[in-house]
Structures are given as structure tokens and as C-alpha cells.
């Protein structure tokens, strides 16, 4: 590995719903590492790799479409130690639907998934154009996805990056303020979460992948 490169670990273990787009997501993140020449990627379904020794190799950990109770207590404790030691965390889409009975994990993500309507077009608003994770996106961004609802609005504790106007689609239940992507300094580390990314096509879309790349770089403290 080049001296300036860092390593990223992608975990895609599912203990609940499994997204068909997981292979596309793994390939997409791997391609980001190659195209940016910024990082290497190790991807696995093996949650036993969430241990203190293994995580010490990585500047950022990506939970890609993880679902259900996919970590045991020991693994969750290792993830906590990693974050508290300054590690970077990235959660993509269904990561918000995992470990729902673990309050610390819910705080790491920022909110807990509660449901979604049928996939459809909607219009996203970039809330903080100065933030590097969304600086390359248009202020208003039409996108096709599963639009997640959450158990609470995380705005008071995170930096909201993207929100959606519920008037532009059917099935939202969070009202006038509906965040969908955010980041925060959390418990010693950095956490970035985006609820976008249900479909394979997302992982070949330049705008979404720029959003994801900058999220990984930010979480890893390279931006």
C-alpha cells in the first residue's frame, strides 16, 4: 500500500432483510478506492472480523446494507472501542435497520429506520453546500430510491446534509423536516450515514458515488 493510502473495511452481513444491491455496493466502494487512489478495500460478510485487532488496520469501516442483529455483544464492544479510538464509520441505507435494540448503535447511525413506502422519485435538498460530503451535488436533486422514515429526527445532534420534501413523493411520515443523510463527530470518532442506495444503479451514478466517496474520506479524516 502506498504511504498516503488508507484501508477501508466493508461489512455486508445481514441477519434480516438482504438487499440484492450488496454486490454492486461492494464493487462500487472498491472502484472508488481505485479511481481515487485514496484507499484499499477489504470486504466481508464475516462479523467476527469486527474485533479490536482487525479494526486497528482500518481508517474507516463501512456497514453496507447490514440488517438485523448482525453483531454479537463482543463485536459491538469492539466497534465501540474502534470508534472511541477515533475510527471512522460509514453507514449505507439499511445499516439504519440493524441492531435496533442497541441504543449506542442507534446513536452511531443517528436514527433508527422504521419503514418506507414503495420506491419512487423524490426531490432531495442539499442543506449544507459548504460541506465536502455534498459540495458536488446540485442544491435540488431528483432521485429514485426507497425513502426511509426514522424513529426520530436527528437534526439536533447531527449535521444534516440531505433532506427530502415530502410533497415530492408519497409515504413520508416525518413532516416538513425529513433528513436523509447526515454526519457527526460521535464518541471520539466520525460517523457518516446516507439512507440512499437501495438499487444497483446507485453504485454507478456519479453524483451518488461522489457523495459516498467524500463521506468515506471525511469519516477517515482525510477531508
What tens digit of pLDDT does each residue of 67-96 get? 999 999 999 999 999 999 999 999 999 999
Pairing of strands 179-186, 159-164: antiparallel
Whole-angstrom Cα distance, residue 207 to residue 79? 29
With bands split at pLDDT 50, 70 and 90, how would you rate the model's confidence at 4? confident
Mean pLDDT of 37-58: 98
Q: What is the mean pLDDT of the chain?
A: 97
pLDDT of residue 63: 98
Long-range contacts of 24-30 (CB under 8 A, 24+ apart): 24/200, 24/202, 24/203, 24/204, 25/64, 25/65, 25/92, 25/197, 25/203, 26/64, 27/203, 28/202, 28/203, 28/204, 28/209, 28/212, 29/62, 29/64, 29/203, 29/212, 29/216
Chain centre to alpha carbon of residue 31:
17
pTM higher than the cut 0.95: yes
pLDDT of residue 3: 60
Amino acid at each position: 500500500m502506498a504511504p498516503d493510502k488508507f484501508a477501508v473495511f466493508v461489512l455486508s452481513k445481514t441477519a434480516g432483510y438482504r438487499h440484492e444491491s450488496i454486490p454492486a455496493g461492494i464493487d462500487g466502494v472498491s472502484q472508488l478506492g481505485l479511481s481515487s487512489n485514496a484507499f484499499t478495500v477489504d470486504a466481508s460478510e464475516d462479523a467476527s472480523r469486527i474485533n479490536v485487532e482487525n479494526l486497528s488496520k482500518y481508517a474507516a469501516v463501512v456497514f453496507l446494507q447490514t440488517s438485523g442483529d448482525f453483531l454479537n455483544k463482543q463485536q459491538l464492544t469492539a466497534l465501540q472501542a474502534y470508534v472511541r479510538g477515533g475510527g471512522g464509520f460509514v453507514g449505507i441505507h439499511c445499516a439504519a435497520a440493524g441492531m435496533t435494540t442497541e441504543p449506542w448503535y442507534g446513536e452511531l447511525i443517528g436514527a433508527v429506520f422504521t419503514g418506507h413506502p414503495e420506491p419512487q422519485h423524490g426531490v432531495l435538498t442539499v442543506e449544507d453546500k459548504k460541506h465536502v460530503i455534498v459540495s458536488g451535488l446540485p442544491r435540488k436533486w431528483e432521485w429514485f430510491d426507497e425513502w426511509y422514515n426514522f424513529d426520530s429526527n436527528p437534526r439536533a445532534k447531527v449535521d444534516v446534509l440531505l433532506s427530502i420534501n415530502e410533497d415530492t413523493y408519497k409515504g413520508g411520515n416525518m413532516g416538513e423536516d425529513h433528513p436523509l443523510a447526515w454526519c457527526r463527530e460521535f464518541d471520539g470518532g466520525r460517523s457518516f450515514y446516507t439512507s440512499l442506495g437501495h438499487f444497483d444503479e446507485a453504485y454507478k451514478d456519479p453524483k451518488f458515488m461522489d457523495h459516498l466517496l467524500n463521506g468515506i474520506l471525511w469519516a477517515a479524516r482525510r477531508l
